[in-house]
Amino acid sequence: MASTNKSKPKKDDLDNIISIIKKTVFVVWLCLFVYISVELSIFQNNDIGENILIILSMIVGSYIFAIITSLVLRSIFVSVEKPKTKNTQEKFDNGKNQNLKSNDLNQNQDISNTQDKTTNIPSKRDLIVDLAICSKEEILSLDGFNAEKAERFIKDRDNGKMWYDIDTFVQDFGLQPHEMIMIQDKIKFPDKPKNRYGRKLDI
């Protein structure tokens, strides 16, 4: 919109300038014809009808010269203005292309960052739950666990209870056989503590 509003006043100014020049050329040529006719005493040797034709010819000739002059000037102005408009349009297109490239780079960077973040977040399927240190959210990722069972797990562990094998763990929380199969590879059990005392011999 801004470029259209700017180009319109320039065109109006050009039309006004050419119109003034055309009128000026018309008057100059008409005065020149009249001056030549008076100097050559053309009007004195002819009757009134012929003089009227001569005057009309002068007016028409002056008008033709004025039109030709205005057309030449307009073509000159247009030929000078076109390279400026072309250069301005090229600069605008180059700036627009640079902005589009910059936006594409930013979008690609955002997509790359999002993909990196997504890659760094382990999925529920790949998560290994360490029973000794896991959080409530991690224990909830196991099949068969709900909020109640997760809270009981955290409470029992805080009270010193620990599970060292899948069978005890499944039995303690009432998990179904298919749930045991789903979670058995996702749980890391702590090592069972070794008995510090040897076997007592009866004497």
The structure tokens listed for 157 are 């562990």
Q: Distance between alpha carbon 143 and the CA centroid of its chain, in Å?
A: 45
Query: Cβ of 27: how many Cβ atoms within 10 Å?
Result: 12
Contact (CB, 8 A) for 169 and 109: no
The pTM score is: 0.38
Residue 129's DSSP bridge partners are 187
Instruction: Determine the pLDDT at residue 76.
Output: 80
Instruction: Determine the pLDDT at residue 80.
Output: 67
Contact (CB, 8 A) for 65 and 26: yes
Q: What 3-state DSSP class applies to 187? A: strand
pLDDT of the chain along its 203 residues, tens only? 444 454 555 667 777 887 888 788 888 887 887 777 777 666 666 677 777 877 888 788 888 877 888 788 777 877 766 665 566 666 677 766 777 766 767 776 767 666 555 445 455 566 899 999 999 999 999 999 999 999 999 999 999 999 999 999 999 999 999 999 999 999 999 988 876 655 555 55
CA–CA gap between residue 174 and residue 202 (Å, rounded)? 40
CA–CA gap between residue 33 and residue 20 (Å, rounded)? 20
Instruction: Determine the pLDDT at residue 34.
Output: 79
CA–CA gap between residue 37 and residue 142 (Å, rounded)? 115
Per-residue CA distances from 106 to 9, 20, 46, 60, 102 (Å)? 39, 55, 86, 67, 6
CA–CA gap between residue 91 and residue 29 (Å, rounded)? 44
What is the CATH number assigned to the segment(s) 129-188? 1.10.150
Instruction: Determine the pLDDT at residue 28.
Output: 85
Residue 1's DSSP bridge partners are none
Instruction: Determine the pLDDT at residue 175.
Output: 93
